[in-house]
Structure 1
Amino acid sequence: MDIPRLLDGRLKFRHLLLVDALSRQGTVVGAAAELHITQPAATRSLHELEDILGVSLFERGPRGITATVFGEAFTQHARAVLAQLTQAGRHVVELAEADRGTVVAGTHLAGSNVLLPRAIAALKKDHPLLTVVVREASPEALLLDLEAGRVDLIVGRLTGPSGEGVVRRTLYDESVQLVVRASHDLVGRHDIGLPELTGYPWILPGPQTALRREVEELLARNGLGLPENRVETTSFLTVRQLLLETDMVAVLPGLIVRDDSRLARLPVSLEPIGHSVGLTLSDSRTLSPSARALIRSLEETAADMAPQL
C-alpha cells in the first residue's frame, strides 16, 4: 500500500476538524452542526479525506457512523496536530503579552470543590490578568478534550497509571464517604449498615466512572444491588442541593464535605474505595507558561492541604 502524500496540498485543516467531530458525535449530522457546516458539505469533506488516504475511515450504519481501524488511527493523529496548533497559537500570544495568557483546566468531582478553586485563587494573586477557563465533564470526555488540545490539563481523580499518551501525577490521596444533610435522621447513629442505607434514595456518579463501578462492586460483595431510587450526576452543585432538600445519601470524596457545616458524613466504611487526586497531562505537548503557572499553584495548594487530609 502506497503511503498517502499528506503534504501535497490536498489535506486541509477542515479535514482534521471533521474527523475529530465525527469520532465524538457519532453522526454526520452532529458533526456538521458542531462545525457549523451543512451535512452535504461534511459528507463531501469526508469523501475527500478518504480519497486522499485511500481507505475508509468510518462505517455507516442505521444509527450513525463508527470509526474503522483506519479512522481510529487517523483521528488520534488529527487530534495531536490540532492540539499542537492550538498550543502554538496560545504560546505565541503569551510570549507577546506576558501574563495575559489563558489556561484551560478540565475537572470532575474529586478536584472541583477544594483543590482547584484554592489553586486558582492563589494563582490570580500573582497573575491577575491570566485567564483560567474551567471545563467540568466526565473523566472520559475530558481525556478526549486533552488529546485534542481543548484542555491543557485535567484536575481530579487519577483513574490509572501514566501511559497511552498521558502522564498522571499524584497530588494527594483521598477517602470516599457516604454523606447526608446535617439534619438527616441518620446523623448521630452508629448502628447503620449498608443494607439499611440502600432503602434510602442515593446519589451516585454516572455508570461510566470508575467510582461508580467500585461502589457497585462494594455493594455486590455485601450481597446488595444498586439502590433502585437513585440520581446519577457528577455535578457537585446538583448533589449538594439535593442533599440539603431531601433524605438522599450521596457517595462523595471526603474533602468535599470537610468544611461544609450543612453536610455530615455517616460512620459507614466504604473501604477499600479511595482514590488519588492529581494532574493528567499530555505526554506529547509542551506546556504553555500559563499552564505551568497553574500546575505550580496546584502543587503548592495540595502540599498545604496535606496535613489536613
Structure 2
Amino acid sequence: MRQLEHMAGVRLFYRSARGVRLTESGEAVLRRSKLALDELRQAAEDLAATQGKVRGRLVIGSLPLSSGALVPRAVDRVLARHKDIQIAIVDGTYDGLMYQLRHADIDVLVGALRPHAPGADIIQTPCLKIPCRWWCARATRWKASPGWFARSGVGIVDRSIGGQSGP
C-alpha cells in the first residue's frame, strides 16, 4: 500500500488502530481503477461479439418500482436469446445504486427518470412511456377534481375503483 501511495504521490489511505480506510484521493484512484478494469472486461466481450458470440456479464441495478415485473421480464427475454450471458440484479435506493453505477459495480440502472440528469458522467435515457398515475381515497384531503387537474396542467382525471386517479 505504501508503494502504491509512493507511485501516486499522494496519501491514499488513513491508517489507525481500527484499520485502514481510503482518503478522498484513494476513493478517486479506486473508482478509476474499477472503471479501467470494467473497460477491459467489456473489451473482451466486444471481441467475442465480433466473432458472433454474445457472452459476458451484466449487472442491473433496479429501483423498487422496476424490480417487480419490468426487469425480470426483460432479463428472461435476453436469457432466452443469449444463453452465455450472466445477469445479476441488484436492488437498492437511487443514491446507493447511482454510487454503484459510478464505481462500475453495476452496468446499468433501471428505474423512474429523475427530472434532471444526475451529472455529466451519466446518460439518462427513457426506455418506456408508461403513464404515471396516483390514487387517493375519496375521504382524504388530497381529493382532486377534474377542474383541479385542468388548472394544474397535470391532465385528465380517470375514475377508478376506490378513488380518483390522474395521469
Is residue 48–residue 54 contact of structure 2 (8 Å, CA) maintained in 1?
Answer: no
Measured after TM superposition, the shift of residue 56 of structure 1 is 0.9
1:168 paired residue among 124, 127, 130: 124
Q: Does 1:190 align with 2:138?
A: yes
The farther-off stretch of 46-55 and 154-163 is 154-163
Relative to structure 1, the CA distance from residue 81 to residue 175 in structure 2 (aligned partners, 3 Å threshold; closer, same or farther) is: same
Which of the two has greater helix per residue? 1
Partners of 2:3 and 2:135 lie apart in 1 by 54
Secondary structure of the 2:132 match is: strand
TM normalised by structure 2 equals 0.63
Relative to structure 1, the CA distance from residue 157 to residue 66 in structure 2 (aligned partners, 3 Å threshold; closer, same or farther) is: farther
1:133 paired residue among 88, 103, 106: 88
Q: Partner amino acid for 1:139?
A: Y
4+ long deviations beyond 6 Å: none
Q: Partner amino acid for 1:175?
A: C
Partners of 1:49 and 1:151 lie apart in 2 by 26
Measured after TM superposition, the shift of residue 52 of structure 1 is 1.4
Where structure 1 has 5 or more consecutive residues not aligned to the other structure, the ranges are 1-45, 180-188, 195-263, 272-308
The residue correspondences of 1:247-258 to structure 2 (distance < 5 A) are none
Percent identity of equivalent pairs: 23
Superposed CA RMSD: 3.6
Relative to structure 1, the CA distance from residue 176 to residue 85 in structure 2 (aligned partners, 3 Å threshold; closer, same or farther) is: farther
Partners of 1:54 and 1:163 lie apart in 2 by 28
Is residue 14–residue 21 contact of structure 2 (8 Å, CA) maintained in 1?
Answer: yes
Is residue 60–residue 108 contact of structure 2 (8 Å, CA) maintained in 1?
Answer: yes
Partners of 1:142 and 1:191 lie apart in 2 by 37
Secondary structure of the 1:167 match is: coil
Secondary structure of the 2:123 match is: strand
Relative to structure 1, the CA distance from residue 152 to residue 121 in structure 2 (aligned partners, 3 Å threshold; closer, same or farther) is: same
Is residue 61–residue 106 contact of structure 2 (8 Å, CA) maintained in 1?
Answer: yes
Partners of 1:149 and 1:265 lie apart in 2 by 44
- 1:87-114 per-residue CA deviation (whole Å, 9 max, x = no partner) reads 2233334444613444322212122123
Relative to structure 1, the CA distance from residue 192 to residue 130 in structure 2 (aligned partners, 3 Å threshold; closer, same or farther) is: farther
Relative to structure 1, the CA distance from residue 102 to residue 74 in structure 2 (aligned partners, 3 Å threshold; closer, same or farther) is: closer
Relative to structure 1, the CA distance from residue 145 to residue 87 in structure 2 (aligned partners, 3 Å threshold; closer, same or farther) is: farther
Q: Partner amino acid for 2:14?
A: E
The residue correspondences of 1:214-253 to structure 2 (distance < 5 A) are none
- 1:34-55 per-residue CA deviation (whole Å, 9 max, x = no partner) reads xxxxxxxxxxxx2221121121
Q: Does 1:99 align with 2:64?
A: no
Is residue 107–residue 156 contact of structure 1 (8 Å, CA) maintained in 2?
Answer: yes
Secondary structure of the 1:169 match is: coil
Is residue 177–residue 266 contact of structure 1 (8 Å, CA) maintained in 2?
Answer: no
Where structure 2 has 5 or more consecutive residues not aligned to the other structure, the ranges are 143-159
The residue correspondences of 1:30-49 to structure 2 (distance < 5 A) are 46-49=1-4
Is residue 135–residue 164 contact of structure 2 (8 Å, CA) maintained in 1?
Answer: yes
TM normalised by structure 1 equals 0.38
- 1:136-163 per-residue CA deviation (whole Å, 9 max, x = no partner) reads 2222332233233332211112344153
Partners of 2:39 and 2:69 lie apart in 1 by 31
Relative contact order, higher structure (CA 8 A, sep 6+): 1
